[in-house]
Structure 1
Amino acid sequence: MRPTLRQLEYIVTVSRLGRFGLAADVLNVSQPSLSAQISAVEQELGLRIFERNRGGVHATAKGEAFISRAQKILAEVQDLRHAMTSDAPVGGRLRLGVLPSIGPYLLPQAIKKIHQDRPGLRIVVREENTRDLEQGLKAGRFDLIISTPEDHPNTMQQRLFNETLWIGVAIDDMLARDLHGVTAEDLRDRLILTLDQSHRLSRIVYALAAECGGVVSDEYEGTTLDSIVLMAASGVGVAVLPDLYARRQGIYRDEVRLRPLAIPNANRDIALLARRGEDDLPGRNILTQSLRAVARDMGLTVSPE
């Protein structure tokens, strides 16, 4: 039956290295044997996986889809092998999707705590925007996601915490002197910077701007929180930032000044979400407890259990 796991490994390795010769060396097989095995898969499935030219090897459109699936299959087999050979008393694996405005600032401490309490649990983390997290959860790429609950209807939701919003401005901006919290009046007629509209944060900022009389920039949409901080530092506008980023990274930046927003509803809820009807996943409870504990230690408003 084709393709075999070994053939999948051949194809993924060629894709990663871009050359048959290098792949053959890494896999410790002859190049003719490697080529023959991949050709056998192509003939069996009736598709062309790679285009070969002087510049190296490039996957076709069908080949890219094949390689993506092959990588997932090989990862599952590796997880299976690990689970069956691990000496850890309690194991399990969770595929976790998380907003990039949360993951780097919350997960390191939570993962460390989980590893101490349950060393056999493996958590595979991927950062994606709100829209892609929703699609990934529906498609089964993720077991759980950490996101804004209102963007994922018909899911099982465990509220984790609420985080307020901050602003970041250039060091010579008038708002940099306000140590007591920025009001709605302070943002009137100001140009406001945020992430692109695939992120829930963008929609929160648009609503905030409408309430305050500010204007959201459609020319300076950022792809990361760091990018909008840099734009704010140059004096372009006012960056709106979530609490986690502000506490964990933003306050240590020299080129901007961060100030909390003293405006009702200038906040967002964060939850752990699963597909409705999903069986109890191994490790979900300890993940929830660890995330809440870390959020509490950071001074965030933790949701009741």
Structure 2
Amino acid sequence: MKPTLRQLEYLVAIADSGRFSDAAKAMNVSQPSLSAQVADAEAHLGVSVFERGRAGAMVTPMGDQIIRRARYILRQVADMKAMAEHGADALYGRIRMGVIPTIGPYLLPSVTRQLHARFPDLRLGIRDEPTDRLAEQLDDGRLDTVISTREDHPGMQGSVLFEERLWVAMAPDDPLAASNAPVTLSELKGSPFLTLGLGHRLTWQVRQLAVRADAYISSDYEGTSLDAIRNMAALGAGVAILPELYIKTEARRDRSVALRPIGDASARREISLIWRETSPLAENLPALAQMLGTAAGAILAKA
């Protein structure tokens, strides 16, 4: 006898929560029933998926491989059900979309009304996550599609939404604030760059830019959001490197910072809507990408 799909769901729920009790609540079953089903699955597999202890349930090395395959199997079953239920018009029902935090809050509010008008039966579940976590969750099926940078999702399909420049924000009394023209890399030489913590593609790009400009990443502060590093720049802590979509929707309203685009070809990034090649939504997600790209283009076209 093989493990059932329900048993695979239990295994994944325990791996996600780290505790049998929390997994039982999430799956809406009693803990003894869940424990019995997991024990049955382990007996059929011939391995221990979890190491039980007072601190909770830890996934064993072999269990880690089983959990990965369980996620894949459950993802394939969910994709099959979606294809059967939605047919040709797959932008229907709940779609789980991940978004990098440097894009989501500045793009999605401008397009939600149009999305609802065109796809009234679509229910988007949005999750903001750093780039590395989006890649993991798209790969294992916890997300259906993501708005991210294409290079961080090898092997996936996608559609380009837009390209944006990077800008600098600094205190009004900073010498760089004396001009509104695009700032050159030579002007940024020796400047302390403010950026986000690890796990964000933007952070990696800012580090590469610092090398090219002979600048450096400030070791005194790593921002948790674009607002945070903008505010630190306003206080004179350094030069914040910010994406253009954020500049056009948020930063320009802040009189406490001066803003300049970076006049270098490397100071740009391309944003795409990305999905698994095997997804049943693959034929329909380009329509979503087209609407997102149009909304982003309207924002970026603002003077």
User: Which residues in structure 2 correspond to 1:207-218 (within 5 Å)?
Assistant: 208-209=209-210, 213-217=213-217
The residue that corresponds to 2:89 in the other structure is 90
Q: In the alignment, does 2:51 pair up with 1:60?
A: no
Compute the displacement of 1:294 (Å).
0.5
Q: Distance in 1 between matches of 2:156 and 2:31?
A: 49
Is the 2:146–2:275 contact (alpha carbons within 8 Å) kept by the matching residues of 1?
yes
The residue that corresponds to 2:288 in the other structure is 287
Structure 1: segments with no counterpart, 5+ residues: none
Q: Distance in 2 between matches of 1:5 and 1:278?
A: 19
Give the secondary structure class of the aligned counterpart of 2:257: strand
Q: In the alignment, does 2:299 pair up with 1:298?
A: yes
Is the 1:193–1:216 contact (alpha carbons within 8 Å) kept by the matching residues of 2?
no
The residue that corresponds to 1:45 in the other structure is 45
Is the 1:24–1:31 contact (alpha carbons within 8 Å) kept by the matching residues of 2?
yes
Compute the displacement of 1:291 (Å).
1.6
TM-score by structure 1 length? 0.69
Pairwise CA RMSD: 4.6
The residue that corresponds to 1:235 in the other structure is 236
Task: Assess, with a 3 A threshold, how the Cα gap between structure 1 residues 292 and 35 changes in structure 2: closer, same or farther.
Answer: closer
User: Which residues in structure 2 correspond to 1:1-305 (within 5 Å)?
Assistant: 1-15=1-15, 19-20=19-20, 24=24, 31-67=31-67, 69-71=69-71, 73-74=73-74, 77=77, 80-81=80-81, 84=84, 90-92=89-91, 98-120=99-121, 146-148=147-149, 158-170=159-171, 173-175=174-176, 178=178, 180-181=180-181, 183-184=183-184, 186-195=187-196, 199-202=200-203, 204-206=205-207, 208-209=209-210, 213-217=213-217, 219=219, 220=221, 222=223, 224-252=225-253, 257-261=257-261, 263-265=263-265, 266-272=267-273, 281-300=282-301
Amino acid of the structure 2 residue aligned with 1:290: M
Compute the displacement of 1:241 (Å).
0.5
Structure 2: segments with no counterpart, 5+ residues: none
Is the 2:75–2:141 contact (alpha carbons within 8 Å) kept by the matching residues of 1?
no
Task: Assess, with a 3 A threshold, how the Cα gap between structure 1 residues 114 and 283 changes in structure 2: closer, same or farther.
Answer: farther
Compute the displacement of 1:239 (Å).
0.9
Task: Assess, with a 3 A threshold, how the Cα gap between structure 1 residues 252 and 76 changes in structure 2: closer, same or farther.
Answer: farther
Amino acid of the structure 2 residue aligned with 1:90: D
Give the secondary structure class of the aligned counterpart of 1:167: strand
